[in-house]
Amino acid sequence: MTTRRVVIDAHQHFWDPSSGGYPWLAAQPAEIQRPYGFADLASHLASQAVDGTVLVQADDTDADTDAMFEVAAAHVEVLGVVAYVPLEHPDRAAERLAELQHRPGFVGIRNLIHDQADPDWLLRPDVAEGLQLLEQEAVPFELVTNQLRHLEHVGYLSERFPRLRLVVDHLGKPPVKTANREPWSSLIRRAASNPLVHAKISGLYPAVGPWRDHRSADLRPWIDVALEAFGPQRLMAGSDWPVCVLAGGYDAVWSNLRQVLVGYGEEVSTPILGQTAHDYYGLAQGS
């Protein structure tokens, strides 16, 4: 009898703009400017045979973090929560982190660095104190990018904080559907040279053309580079839902990604589609 391997969506969000948060949504298409909760996701998880998810912060507020933990407490499918602390205020960050570490399902910290006016926000001395706190507590930091400058920071962070566990979200945003492999390719390889750096294969939307205008074949060249750099044991698959609504929806995006990964064989697909996230975050087995 064959046991089905655990499948984990390592990157998804919930939000409710009516709460007064999520200011970045105002510049987004109307399709995602509405509340998205677990009831909107549940049928997709079932149809795609996804056992559980890692819920990731979408606003630099305590309210967003608290709302995520409320959802996680109510739904066993949410296996982990990547929360927020104000890294630029180290004292406040330390106090909040100490509280979060006692919450079931807490697995990491993320800040919306790509919404900061300063592209070098992560290099500020006050932020460095916050990152040092994460290093001391062995708490992973998830780095979200919207420009190559952010990906360049991974090398610096690896040198400055040699024990800091890092996760590069969305593979550092490669220019999908273009032939421009550089400098992204060199930067992602440099990031992967640190064995404490992992990455998520998620949010791989076309850099040119409509987001819906992509196929699984468009993803393969970028995943090839990631596999060569990280290996499957340091890569995780994520839907980036509900942002992926703009790219055809959960089922289309997850199916395209799964098709590519399964094409490499089980030695690659099994870790990336669930086992890496399970082991890295120390997750429960799933529902």
Q: What is the pLDDT of residues 207-257, one digit of tens each?
A: 887 888 888 899 999 999 999 999 999 999 999 999 999 999 999 999 999
- pLDDT band at 2; cut points 50, 70, 90: very low
Unique residue bearing structure tokens 């500020």: 124
pLDDT band per the 50, 70, 90 thresholds, residue 106? very high
Radius of gyration of the chain (CA): 18
Asked whether the whole model's pTM tops 0.85, one would answer yes
Give the CA dihedral 99, 275, 11, 56, nearest 10 degrees: 0
In which residue are the tokens 């990031």 written? 191
Mean pLDDT across 263-269: 97
Model confidence pLDDT, tens digit, residues 192-211: 999 999 999 999 999 887 88
Q: Is the pLDDT of residue 66 over 90?
A: yes
In this prediction, residue 287 carries a pLDDT of: 43
Q: Is the pLDDT of residue 3 over 80?
A: no
Q: How far apart are the first and last CA of the chain?
A: 20
As a whole-number percent, the residues of the chain with pLDDT over 70 amount to 98
Q: Give the mean model confidence (pLDDT) for residues 8-13.
A: 98
Quick one: average pLDDT of 120-139?
A: 97
Nearest to 204 by CA among 238, 228, 235: 238
66-72 contacts at long range (C-beta below 8 A, 24 or more positions apart): 67/14, 67/16, 67/19, 68/14, 69/103, 69/105, 69/106, 71/14, 71/37, 71/38, 72/104, 72/105
**Which of the four pLDDT bands, split at 50, 70 and 90, describes residue 284?**
confident
Ramachandran class of 231: left when φ > 0, alpha when ψ lies in -120 to 50, beta otherwise: left
Q: What is the pLDDT of residues 165-192, one digit of tens each?
A: 999 999 999 999 999 999 999 999 999 9
* Residue 145, token pair as written in the block: 């990018």
Give the model's confidence band at 139: pLDDT under 50 very low, under 70 low, under 90 confident, else very high.
very high
Rounded Cα gap, residues 37 and 42, in angstroms: 9
Q: At what angle do helices 148-160 and 184-192 cross, to 10 degrees?
A: 20
Tell me the pLDDT band of 134, cut-offs 50, 70 and 90.
Answer: very high
The H helix count followed by the E strand count for the chain is 10, 8
Residue 158 has pLDDT above 70, yes or no: yes
